[in-house]
Structure 1
Amino acid sequence: MQALMSLSFADPTEIREFPHGRLELFDLHGSAAGRFVLEPGWHWAEDMAPLVGTASCQQRHVGYVLTGNLQVSMDNGAHGVIKAGEMLHIEPGHDARVLGNEPVTVLDFADVAAYATRATALHATP
């Protein structure tokens, strides 16, 4: 069966709030895209690790940064800063934090349905 659908960013399917941020989920026929809004001070290791129960983020991210600067550190030691106007591809096994006083807004087109839940830990690599 072929499907056609469109959703407005003004009407997310679900909103998941967590310390210093939120994820607005958009259900696209079983695949979930998301808009992350991360406030200044947000740090994955401090704000998300206690929630999901893993030492680093085990979610794959593929998206576009609308606002702010996001510092990312991979478990293998690689690191960098992703800035507004840039696309990103981040594999599982990373930490991230907002740099500066501007919120980070990211459109994420990887399937983020399990983000900010303990289900994320089910996909953790040893």
Structure 2
Amino acid sequence: MSEKLNIETPHERRPFKAHGHMDVVTLGDFTLGRGVFEPGWRWSNDVKPIAGTDSCQTHHTGICTSGQMTIAFEDGNEITVGPGDVVDLEPGHDAWTVGDEPCVILDTGIKAYAKPA
């Protein structure tokens, strides 16, 4: 069965502790999230209390559409993503918004992201 739903009317909105939210649309086995990470957002402050893990354990795949975010991995590597950057991010990281513009990322790896453990 073919389906469609506009991201502006998501099935679910998952608020972060502060500084943004994740809009979630699920069609069959496909889940897409639009993360809006406001200035000041940091995973370890805004999602860790929800996830209950020491680092983000989600495997993210998606594209940044605006703003910037730095991702710091447990092995010490860091990357910064911005508009147009496509990502495949392994679990085990912290992340934070860079600058004073919200970072927006469309993410296919968020089925359980920012849901209470």
TM-score normalised by structure 1 residue count: 0.87
Query: Of the candidates 11, 34, 37, which is equivalent to residue 13 of structure 1?
Result: 11
1:30 CA drift (Å): 3.5
Alignment correspondent of 1:4: 2
Q: What is the identity, as a one-letter code, of the residue corresponding to 1:100?
A: G
Q: What is the identity, as a one-letter code, of the residue corresponding to 1:105?
A: V
In 1: Cα distance, 2:115 partner to 2:10 partner: 18
Alignment correspondent of 1:114: 112
In 2: Cα distance, 1:25 partner to 1:93 partner: 22
What's the secondary structure of 2:104's corresponding residue?
Answer: strand
Q: What is the identity, as a one-letter code, of the residue corresponding to 1:59?
A: T
User: RMSD of the alignment, in Å?
Assistant: 1.1
Alignment correspondent of 2:39: 40
Alignment correspondent of 1:78: 77
Cα deviation 1:15-66 (Å, max 9, x = unaligned): 0111111000001114321000000000001111122111100011100101
Q: What is the identity, as a one-letter code, of the residue corresponding to 1:38?
A: F
Q: Percent identity?
A: 37
Aligned length: 116
Q: Which of the two has higher C-alpha Rg? A: 1
Alignment correspondent of 1:66: 65
What's the secondary structure of 2:44's corresponding residue?
Answer: helix
Alignment correspondent of 1:31: 30
In 2: Cα distance, 1:31 partner to 1:21 partner: 23
TM-score normalised by structure 2 residue count: 0.93
Unaligned runs of at least 5 residues, structure 2: none
Q: What is the identity, as a one-letter code, of the residue corresponding to 2:12?
A: E
Structure having the larger proportion of residues in helix: 1
What's the secondary structure of 1:118's corresponding residue?
Answer: coil
In 2: Cα distance, 1:11 partner to 1:118 partner: 22
Unaligned runs of at least 5 residues, structure 1: 120-126
In 1: Cα distance, 2:27 partner to 2:77 partner: 32
In the TM superposition, structure 1's runs of 4+ consecutive aligned residues that sit over 3 Å from their partners are none
